[in-house]
Structure 1
Amino acid sequence: MESRKTKQEVQQRYNGAVKRRKWEDPPEDPEAVKNFDPASRVKRRKSIILLGYTGVNYFGMQRNPGTKTIEEDLLRAMQKREWINDEGFRQPQQIQFQRAARTDKGVSAAMQVVSIKLPDNLDIEALNSELPEDIRVYAVKRVTKGFNSKTNCDARTYTYTLPTIAFAPNEEKVDIQTYRLPAERLARVNEVLALYVGTKNFHNFTSRKEFLDPSVKRFIMSFECDPPFLPEGSTAEFATIKIKGQSFMLHQIRKMVGLTIAVVRGLAESDIIEKAFGQERYGIPTAPGLGLVLSRIHYDKYNKRYGEDGCHETLEFEKEEPMIQEFFKRHIASTIVETELKTNSMVEWLEKLPLHSYEPRDESEPSEWKPRNRKASDDQDDDDE
């Protein structure tokens, strides 16, 4: 039989001494006082940072030790301006840091959203002065305590800008500076893009995914190509493809664009797209990453629930739209065009495209799907183009 608790133990529990930590004032030791960081206990509120960046010079959004990433530069700038303390810089999860989408190497973002706990009255201009020109913070907004920029996101919109020579027939010898996309070929491009709209099985449009894996089913809301345009100061014609979906897997959009180009150029039959949604395994060509841009993050459900409660702002970003468009035009769109004309990344990719095989691969039949063990950093089910 257990012995009864002493009167002292009961009194301690009643007073909360067992469970509660006693508040500790800053240390009185002169050296310790000198090193004491008052920001470490500043009241922080759940917020979002709205930002854009040019990804050409970066190895993606997500922080990765030893590589140049958007998050590394952003966190370092926030540390310098005391938006976060040293612990927050070392372990961002301690301040509930979460990106809405994980962009891959070379991919830019006209709009990216990060949720994080921040103090009030922050100086955005001062933060931007610490950031390179490739990254720009547009705004900071308060959100609900439980807000998560990734899980509260309803959809993402990406754009892919490319020279229209990509849609020329493969047998034609054309020049990037003089080729002009006829209206009927633009219509053909949109006809092919429409085949992706709806809920499809995209196991062939990413890596390390099986047909029976539930996560490979993705909902594409729209996919279309805008009319071509001539960038300022260039004779080469470009066009922009826009795609909106709930979420995307690694390389998914670039593979969708790559296969579309192959079909439009006559290197593959149209039915290859429908076949790729099926069980057989196909090797899908991956278009270059240069033209891909995260264009919009959508929070429709959040806005409907909290946008009119009088306490929270809607996350529609109409006020910030002029800044977003200015940054996109000056830093992202111009960089895509200049880099393409300088490096010929699309033209060189097109030269290799005829060597690609569109026949099904000889692989064993898929067995019952089993979840694989994944590291905490392996977010492939994330939006991570």
Structure 2
Amino acid sequence: MTVNFLHRLCVSVLHGWLYKCAGIRWIMSEESGNVQTKPLKRVEEGNRESGENGHIRKKLKSDVEQTGDERKLPKRKVVLLLAYSGKGYYGMQRNAGSSQFKTIEDELVTALIKSGCIPDNHGDDMKKMSFQRCARTDKGVSAAGQVVSLKLWMIEDIKEKLNSNLPPQIRVLGLKRVTGGFNSKNSCDARTYSYMLPTLAFAPKDYGTENSTAFRLEPETLQRVNRLFGSYKGTHNFHNFTSQKAARDPSARRYITEMTCGEPFVRGGAEFAEITVRGQSFMMHQIRKMIGLVIAVVKGYSGDEVLKRSWGEEKVDVPKAPGLGLVLEKVHFDRYNKRFGGDGLHECLEWTEEEQAILAFKEEHIYPSIVETECQEGSMASWMATLPIHDFEATAKGAQDKDRGQDDDEGNGSDSAL
């Protein structure tokens, strides 16, 4: 009797204890034999609602995106090193709703979608992938070292897949991981451009252009050209070298660290030279006008003093050299490299390993395009024929107005100079 009573009591207690532990699963450790309990429902509810588990679930969702074929891939902020020949394109920046004016970014976005790097809807709204470019290059302008930043899915063989979906005159030459808050425009400390032109541009104004390929630049003339370009170094008010900038607008003051013309060389039977200019940032048309004014002075249309006068408050009629020949060579990230380049997690944004690929692209796509177009169309000779209509001695508000268009100043990291 006592035994039966004790048996029933033990069974009753055991049932009650099991009832209270409903929803608990028992896991026997294979190594120690210890019993562990883990909640089943409550973890799932925590993931759905709040608390530590919910936070973890949210974090994972932001770090991993799901593609159409249900693969989960990490989404990361990167920079792409781009090289392109701008011939046949209406500049770098994409113009939403203007598909008839194809740009470099149109081609890049299409390649990103086809390669599976971004969702289809990111092509319609580039802010969704935090897209930013270092410089807005104008119609027909090329680049050997353009850098864009964006978030994309880290698929395998990204560069190879992107290039397989890009035309030959646009190449992705490098890719690097960057910090989550990196912005290629705002993080850029300086930009270096080159401008390739026929040395005929520095011939006296009475020199005939019938046999333009015969002209050769004298060393003394090259020295004078470089003295004039050297005058641009430092900080000056360049309101006369862009459009829609008032003389007292603080943003018209720009800092130039280098501007020189290299030794002449012969291509396609004609003599060319390459001008290099580096500055913190540039405004729309600024570089082309800086070159145009020096050409006008060397050819004898104005005296040297016009450069200094152009930095004053009065309006000066500054001619704008052709866009052909302008190339974005390199963008510089000195501050970023100093802060993050040696942290063990990120790379310096230098492209030493890609230098050979950059040079090869220029030799195959950029230089031939500039030389062939110049020799066939004579854009520099045609532009020089317009120099006599400029009045370099008087103010010329009317002449400035005809140049006006969209201002390409992007603030601290503005770019375009075109």
| Same-fold status (TM-score > 0.5) | yes
Q: Give the whole-Å Cα distance in 1 for the aligned partners of 2:70 and 2:129.
A: 16
- 1:55 maps onto 2:86 in alignment: yes
The offset of 1:126, in angstroms, is 2.0
The structure-2 alpha-carbon separation of the partners of 1:36 and 1:239, relative to structure 1 and needing over 3 Å to count, comes to: closer
Contact 1:250 1:380 (C-alpha < 8 Å) held by counterparts: no
Q: Secondary structure at the match of 1:323?
A: helix
**Alignment partner, residue 184 of structure 2:** 149
Instruction: Specify the code of the residue in structure 2 equivalent to 1:215.
Output: S
Q: Give the whole-Å Cα distance in 2 for the aligned partners of 1:254 and 1:209.
A: 16
**Alignment partner, residue 259 of structure 2:** 223
- 1:135 maps onto 2:167 in alignment: no
Contact 1:197 1:220 (C-alpha < 8 Å) held by counterparts: yes
Contact 2:194 2:275 (C-alpha < 8 Å) held by counterparts: yes
**Alignment partner, residue 375 of structure 2:** 341
Contact 1:198 1:219 (C-alpha < 8 Å) held by counterparts: yes
The offset of 1:361, in angstroms, is 2.4
Q: Give the whole-Å Cα distance in 2 for the aligned partners of 1:47 and 1:36.
A: 22
Alignment of 1:246-265 (within 5 A): 246-265=280-299
- 1:211 maps onto 2:243 in alignment: no
Q: Secondary structure at the match of 2:154?
A: coil
Deviations for 1:226-277, whole angstroms, at most 9, x for unmatched residues?
000012xx21000000000000000000000100100010111111111010
Deviations for 1:289-344, whole angstroms, at most 9, x for unmatched residues?
00100001111111111111111111110011110110011100111001100110
Contact 2:241 2:290 (C-alpha < 8 Å) held by counterparts: yes
The offset of 1:354, in angstroms, is 1.7
**Alignment partner, residue 284 of structure 1:** 318
Instruction: Specify the code of the residue in structure 1 equivalent to 2:128.
Output: Q
**Alignment partner, residue 222 of structure 2:** 186
Contact 1:83 1:122 (C-alpha < 8 Å) held by counterparts: no
Q: Secondary structure at the match of 2:258?
A: strand
**Alignment partner, residue 4 of structure 2:** none
Deviations for 1:103-157, whole angstroms, at most 9, x for unmatched residues?
0111100110000012224421221111111101001110111111111111000
The offset of 1:380, in angstroms, is 4.8
- 1:293 maps onto 2:327 in alignment: yes
**Alignment partner, residue 401 of structure 2:** none
Q: Secondary structure at the match of 2:266?
A: coil
Q: Which has the larger radius of gyration?
A: 2
Q: Which runs of 5+ in 2 are unaligned?
A: 1-45, 59-66, 398-405
Q: Give the whole-Å Cα distance in 1 for the aligned partners of 2:302 and 2:69.
A: 62
**Alignment partner, residue 272 of structure 1:** 306
TM-score (norm 2): 0.79
The offset of 1:379, in angstroms, is 4.5
The structure-2 alpha-carbon separation of the partners of 1:321 and 1:258, relative to structure 1 and needing over 3 Å to count, comes to: same
- 1:383 maps onto 2:415 in alignment: yes
Q: CA RMSD in A?
A: 2.2
Q: Secondary structure at the match of 2:135?
A: coil
Q: How many residues align?
A: 345
The offset of 1:215, in angstroms, is 0.6
**Alignment partner, residue 349 of structure 2:** 315
Alignment of 1:95-114 (within 5 A): 95-114=129-148
Contact 2:117 2:155 (C-alpha < 8 Å) held by counterparts: no
Q: Give the whole-Å Cα distance in 1 for the aligned partners of 2:356 and 2:376.
A: 29
TM-score (norm 1): 0.85
The offset of 1:38, in angstroms, is 4.1
The offset of 1:53, in angstroms, is 0.4
The offset of 1:173, in angstroms, is 2.5
Q: Give the whole-Å Cα distance in 2 for the aligned partners of 1:206 and 1:91.
A: 30
The structure-2 alpha-carbon separation of the partners of 1:335 and 1:94, relative to structure 1 and needing over 3 Å to count, comes to: same
Instruction: Specify the code of the residue in structure 1 equivalent to 2:126.
Output: P
Q: Which runs of 5+ in 1 are unaligned?
A: 1-11, 24-34, 364-374
- Which stretch of the first structure deviates more once superposed, 168-177 or 294-303? 168-177
- 1:357 maps onto 2:391 in alignment: yes
**Alignment partner, residue 44 of structure 1:** 75
- Structure (1 or 2) with the greater helix fraction: 2
Q: Give the whole-Å Cα distance in 1 for the aligned partners of 2:357 and 2:154.
A: 22
Q: Give the whole-Å Cα distance in 2 for the aligned partners of 1:200 and 1:358.
A: 19
- 1:70 maps onto 2:101 in alignment: no
